[in-house]
Amino acid sequence: MRRMLSLLWLDLCTVWLSRLPILMMVTVLIQGLILRFVVPEQILIEPMVRIVDHTDERLFARALSKAPALALPDKASLKTWVGTDRQHIGLIFSGTHRKPHVELLHSGSLDSGAVALGRTTATMFWSRFTNIGWDRGHILSHLGADREQIPFNQLILALVLVLNVAIGSILFLATMIFEDKATGAVDALRVSPLGALTYLTSKLCATILTSVLPVFVLIALVKPEEVESGALWLMMIVAVVCFSFLGAIIGVLLRSLFEGIYVIALTMFALMFPLFAYFVPALDRVWLHWIPTWGTLYGVRAALFPTWREDDPVLAFQSMVPALVIFAVVALVLIRKRMFGRRS
């Protein structure tokens, strides 16, 4: 244990002397101040409508073919789309031209502009056939619980947290390994009683301790009530460990931070793919869910804004856990083979 603590102290000194944590702290302070005082809590979003045509004779097929962005294939996909935003309105048309029926799906208040737009749109679509009359048994279905709109700056907080944790964890751990190579510490470790597992564990602990302060500052500045959230800190620690293993792989395979800067940049670009779908749900694809940043972002958002759905933990960890296991095994094998070599 004493050797482990000594190695941990050396790793902490190494990473802080690199000035990367200081740069991260300055960046986090700027980000936190911007999110708190510059980015608005609410932004004006125009209501959007989507339609499912379940009429007996597909009365609106031609009209929807001219505006395919309005159409969705079934009620299930429409409910999913409506449930993502209070400004989304879904219309399900059924019945015949003589006996029209409309089901209006919404997640906002009944007297909102979005619901008014849905009513107007339904009336306009049916007007070529008949006057639908909203007193004839049409259905207005509210999806989800009545809750306040998530402040926009706090929504961005989830994205910034994931970016900082991913970038910081990779850079911190890779830098410690690069420094060990540059100073010749790796040669001394090969003849020491320390093993590859102890070596990697020390660096993981140093990365976690270094990452805690920037995460704490950012949360305290933007959403201070979540500082005590156990679920949020669990997500942060798991994310730090996951991306740290990836940083260890980069650190072992490359010789220096200067040589590895392009690889790290490309890696971060690949990890950012799921983040684009955060703002443009139409870009979401199943294969993106297996990139660890997708699970991290989903988990952080679920921790910041709990929905209490049973599938939240599964969705959050479905990409993080496999990635963590793969990165951990590869990192440990590479450290044993390429840094410690074979020991008799």
pLDDT higher than threshold 90 for residue 321: no
* Residues 91-148: tens digit of each pLDDT: 999 999 888 999 999 987 787 788 889 999 999 999 988 888 888 889 988 886 545 5
> Which strand (E) or helix (H) includes residue 269?
helix 257-271
- In one-letter notation, the amino acid at residue 102 is V
Determine the pLDDT at residue 47.
87
Determine the pLDDT at residue 175.
94
pLDDT higher than threshold 90 for residue 25: yes
Six token digits for residue 286: 């199943």
Q: What is the mean pLDDT of residues 40-45?
A: 74
pLDDT higher than threshold 90 for residue 1: no
- How far, in Å, CA of 32 to CA of 219, rounded? 8
* Residues 156-211: tens digit of each pLDDT: 999 999 999 999 999 999 999 999 999 888 888 777 777 889 999 999 999 999 99
* Residues 308-320: tens digit of each pLDDT: 665 666 777 777 8
Q: Residue 343's pLDDT band (boundaries 50, 70, 90)? A: very low
Six token digits for residue 141: 């279905």
Six token digits for residue 269: 């670009």
Q: What is the mean pLDDT of residues 74-83?
A: 87
3-10 own/partner pairs: CB under 8 Å, 24+ apart: 3/193, 3/194, 3/198, 4/198, 4/201, 4/202, 7/194, 7/198, 7/199, 7/202, 8/202, 8/205, 8/206
* Residues 244-255: tens digit of each pLDDT: 999 999 999 998
Whether 240 contacts 300, CB under 8 Å: no
Domain map (residue ranges) of the chain: 2-38+150-340, 48-142
Q: What is the mean pLDDT of residues 325-329?
A: 95
| CA separation, residue 94 to residues 103, 130, 140 (Å) | 8, 13, 14
Q: Residue 149's pLDDT band (boundaries 50, 70, 90)? A: low
Strand ranges for the chain from DSSP E: 48-55, 88-95, 100-106, 139-142
